[in-house]
């Protein structure tokens, strides 16, 4: 074996390549030239095949694996949530959150709206839905908007409602609502499509420099987590509201400040030009870290708010026929997906309830029959929290990838049993069943819904316990626990498959992009309780070191 000139060789006694069937790390070396891995093999063989004096970076017994790939997050809100411009806080109660927000607002510029994210009233003490009354008392003359922790509801004060032009006579868009009290007055709670339509206007006070600075800082934090790729998913199902800031990514790329691969998924609309324009721009070499593999759409909401679309009513139904609802009518979703498939585009659909999942699979099945596989990326269902048993095998049969967020498993302790009952709750986030039945998977965080913390993703998948409380003991639905090796493969190679790049991303293999991470321990063999303690030592993207501890 002769490979000639390369930039350097990486060696370790514990390299995990993420290849199919690989269950353990082993002694390996790999040579890197430019942004690619040239060869992988026994350390002595790889070093001998290189020209003399090739730099050899020996990491001893440290653990090396492909870089982590967050397959589903919302980068704009993730970056803003860690910036000085937006408060991320759930609060112990409505009163505590409002008091904390008053403190936060004192440091904002005068022109800024007060914006927070994270409240979950079902986890408050007492678990009572909030109203605008408390915000009006705290902020009588300044717009205040509280974005829920599940990302589907806004709670705002009268000043914000007035600034946005929402009155008691306003009619919400289809799939959304303006909550009213018994007298018909607005409560300040705005749900689903109505909330998504308004949120962009609540953030218009931010400058381009504010946003770029927040993005750069967030990328630094992700490099520290060993995250080398992301899928930036559209947040709003409305024109111009996807929050995919390709302009910011391009600015950072031109300035040499882009330190991770970004796969953008704008909203699927009747007009498909947004995606196709992005694909044309990123087809060349000008922006090597940017791609736009496909579209995103939303079929339903969330179970905790009874907006996820179910086949049978919620166990704790609030009215007869309480099954949630589609955010997009089924006929229109079908038209959108088939139109995208006809042009070769993949679609990733937010589906949480079993009815939404089933209907989406029917649409994907028709698209596959008519137009075959997409040109870029994979048709994917996002979240899939509550499935009909027969739809698990349909995922595998249709080649539809299941994109899950392990941190969601314990986000609402007791919530699945409360909303869906014990029988339906047994088929939720079935990672082990997916693996056994050949369903391809990808992992992410849905950040800012859960934090972008790579070791928490792996811990939750392996232990099925809350990353903070470590409850419940033994894990929630422990039969669906998976090995750390499988979790790693899903979080690297699986996420690469979601973006249609399994041939060049997500593995340590010849010809693959040199995106890899070095950890201080072998997380495939350590006790699951030690996974969260693992430290990222070094992160590489495209052969370049972007972080060193």
Tens-place pLDDT, residues 227-261: 999 999 998 666 666 889 999 999 999 999 999 99
User: Is residue 59 helix, strand or coil?
Assistant: coil
DSSP 173: P
pTM: 0.90
Q: Which helix (H) or strand (E) holds 119?
A: strand 114-119
- As given in the structure block, the two tokens for residue 381 are 């269902």
pLDDT in tens, 476-516: 999 999 999 999 999 999 999 999 999 999 999 999 999 99
CATH 3.10.310.70, domain 86-202, yes or no: yes
- As given in the structure block, the two tokens for residue 43 are 């350390």
pLDDT for residue 1: 66
The residues, ordered by sequence, that sit 6+ positions from 31 with a Cβ below 8 Å of its Cβ are: 3, 6, 8, 9, 10, 37, 38, 39, 46, 49, 50, 54
pLDDT for residue 424: 95
- Do 8-65+515-519+531-548 and 86-202 come out as alike in CATH topology? no
pLDDT in tens, 153-187: 999 999 999 999 999 999 998 878 999 999 999 99
CATH 3.20.20.140, domain 70-74+210-514+520-530, yes or no: yes
Note whether 246 and 278 are within 8 A (CB).
yes
Q: Nearest-CA neighbor of 361 among 323, 390, 332?
A: 390
**Structure confidence at residue 468 as a pLDDT band (50, 70, 90):** very high
Q: Provide the CATH number for the domain formed by 8-65+515-519+531-548 in this structure.
A: 2.30.40.10
Domain map of the chain by residue range? 8-65+515-519+531-548, 70-74+210-514+520-530, 86-202
Average pLDDT over residues 264-289: 96
Residue holding tokens 């990328």?
Answer: 219
Q: Nearest-CA neighbor of 382 among 305, 302, 283, 288?
A: 302
Note whether 98 and 105 are within 8 A (CB).
no
pLDDT for residue 456: 98
Q: What share of the chain in percent tops pLDDT 90?
A: 86
- As given in the structure block, the two tokens for residue 373 are 């596989």
Rounded to an integer, what distance in angstroms lies between the CA atom of residue 344 and that of residue 456?
35
């Amino acid at each position: 074996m002769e490979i000639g000139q390369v930039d350097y060789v990486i060696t370790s006694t514990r390299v995990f390549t993420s290849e199919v069937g690989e269950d353990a790390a082993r002694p390996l070396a790999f040579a890197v030239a430019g942004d690619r891995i040239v060869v992988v093999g026994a350390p002595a063989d790889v070093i001998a095949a290189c020209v003399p004096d090739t730099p050899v970076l020996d990491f001893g017994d440290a653990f090396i694996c492909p870089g982590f790939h967050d397959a589903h997050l919302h980068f704009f809100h993730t970056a803003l949530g860690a910036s000085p411009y937006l408060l991320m806080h759930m609060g112990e109660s409505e009163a505590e959150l409002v008091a904390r927000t008053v403190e936060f607002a004192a440091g904002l510029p005068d022109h800024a709206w007060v914006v927070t994210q994270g409240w979950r009233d079902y986890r408050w003490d007492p678990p009572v839905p909030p109203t605008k009354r408390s915000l009006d008392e705290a902020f009588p003359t300044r717009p205040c908007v509280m974005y829920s922790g599940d990302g589907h509801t806004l709670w705002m004060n009268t000043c914000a409602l007035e600034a946005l032009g929402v009155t008691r006579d306003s009619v919400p868009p289809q799939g959304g609502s303006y909550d009213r009290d018994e007298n018909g007055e607005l409560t300040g709670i705005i749900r689903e499509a109505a909330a998504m339509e308004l949120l962009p206007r609540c953030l218009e006070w931010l400058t381009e420099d504010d946003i770029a600075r927040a993005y750069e800082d967030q990328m630094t934090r992700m490099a520290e987590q060993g995250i080398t790729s992301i899928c930036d998913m559209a947040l709003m199902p409305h024109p111009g509201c996807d929050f995919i800031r390709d302009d910011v990514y391009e600015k950072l790329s031109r300035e040499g400040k882009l330190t991770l691969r970004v796969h953008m998924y704008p909203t699927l609309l009747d007009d498909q030009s947004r995606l196709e324009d992005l694909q044309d721009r990123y087809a060349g070499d000008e922006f090597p870290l940017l791609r736009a593999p496909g579209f995103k759409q939303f079929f339903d909401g969330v179970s905790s708010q009874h907006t996820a679309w179910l086949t049978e009513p919620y166990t704790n139904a609030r009215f007869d026929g309480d099954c949630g609802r589609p955010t997009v009518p089924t006929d229109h979703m079908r038209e959108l997906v088939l139109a995208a498939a006809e042009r070769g585009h993949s679609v990733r659909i937010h589906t949480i309830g079993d009815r939404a999942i089933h209907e989406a699979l029917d649409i994907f099945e028709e698209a596959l029959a008519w137009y075959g596989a997409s040109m870029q990326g994979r048709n994917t269902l996002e979240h899939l929290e509550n499935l009909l048993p027969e739809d698990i095998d349909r995922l595998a049969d249709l080649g539809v990838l299941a994109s899950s967020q392990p941190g969601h498993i314990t986000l609402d302790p007791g919530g699945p049993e409360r909303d869906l009952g014990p029988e339906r709750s047994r088929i939720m986030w079935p990672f082990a069943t997916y693996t056994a039945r050949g369903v391809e998977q990808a992992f992410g965080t849905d950040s800012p819904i859960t934090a972008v913390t790579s070791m928490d993703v792996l811990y939750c998948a392996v232990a099925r316990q809350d990353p903070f409380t470590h409850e419940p003991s033994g894990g929630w639905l422990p039969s669906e626990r998976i090995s750390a090796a499988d979790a790693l493969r899903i979080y690297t190679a699986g996420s690469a498959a979601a973006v249609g790049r399994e041939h060049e991303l997500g593995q340590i293999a010849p010809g693959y992009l040199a995106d890899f991470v070095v950890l201080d321990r072998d997380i495939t063999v350590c006790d699951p309780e030690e996974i969260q303690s693992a430290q990222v030592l070094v992160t590489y993207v495209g052969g370049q070191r972007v972080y060193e501890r």
